[in-house]
Amino acid sequence: MPIVMLPDGSQRAFDRPVTVAEIAAAIGAGLARAALAGAVDGRLVDTSFLIEVDARLRIVTAKDPEGLEILRHSTAHLLAQAVQSIYPQAQVTIGPVIEDGFYYDFAFERPFTPEDLALFEARMRELAQADLPVRRRELPRDEAIAHFRALGKRYKAEIIGAIPAGETITLYGQGDWEDLCRGPHVPSTGRLGAFRLTKVAGAYWRGDSRNEMLQRIYGTAWSDEKQLKDYLHRLEEAEKRDHRRIGRELDLFHFQEEAPGAVFWHPRGWTVFQGLIDYMRARQNAAGYREISTPEIMDRELWVQSGHLEKFGENMFLTQTPDERVYAIKPMNCPGHVQVFRHGLHSYRELPIRLAEFGRVHRYEPSGALHGLLRVRAFTQDDAHIFVTENQITEETVRGIGLMLSIYRDFGFDEVQVKFADRPLRRVGDDAIWTRAENALQEATRAAGVDYTVNPGEGAFYGPKLEFVLKDAIGRDWQCGTWQVDLNLPGRLGAYYVDEHSDKRTPVMLHRAIFGSLERFLGILLEHHAGKLPAWLAPVQAVVMNITSRQAAYAAEACEFLKNQGVRTEIDLRNEKVGYKIREHTLQRVPYLLIAGDREVGSRSLAVRSRSGKDLGAMPLEEVAARIAGDVASRGRRCMED
Which residues have a catalytic role annotated?
334, 363, 381, 383, 385, 465, 511
The Cα 480–Cα 484 span in angstroms is 13
The 8-class DSSP code of residue 371 comes to: B
What is each CA distance from 19 to 2, 14, 137, 404, in whole angstroms? Answer: 11, 11, 16, 50
Q: Is 353 helix (H, G, I), strand (E, B) or coil?
A: strand
Contact 159, 167 (CB under 8 A): no
The Cα 543–Cα 269 span in angstroms is 17
What is each CA distance from 320 to 54, 324, 365, 405, in whole angstroms? Answer: 65, 6, 21, 42
The Cα 121–Cα 186 span in angstroms is 19
The Cα 24–Cα 18 span in angstroms is 10
The Cα 343–Cα 253 span in angstroms is 39
Cis peptide before 456 (omega within 30 of 0): no
- Picking from 541, 545, 546, 547, the residue whose alpha carbon sits closest to that of residue 569 is 541
- Number of CB atoms found within 10 A of residue 360's CB: 16
User: Alpha-carbon torsion 287, 290, 291, 292, what sign?
Assistant: negative
- Picking from 23, 77, 75, the residue whose alpha carbon sits closest to that of residue 52 is 23
Helix 393-410 to helix 267-286 angle (10° resolution) is 140
Burial of 303 (0-12, 13-18, 19+ CB in 10 A): buried
What lies within 8 Å, CB to CB, of 229 at 6+ separation is: none
Beta strands in 227-377 (DSSP E): 253-254, 264-265, 290-291, 297-299, 317-320, 326-329, 353-362
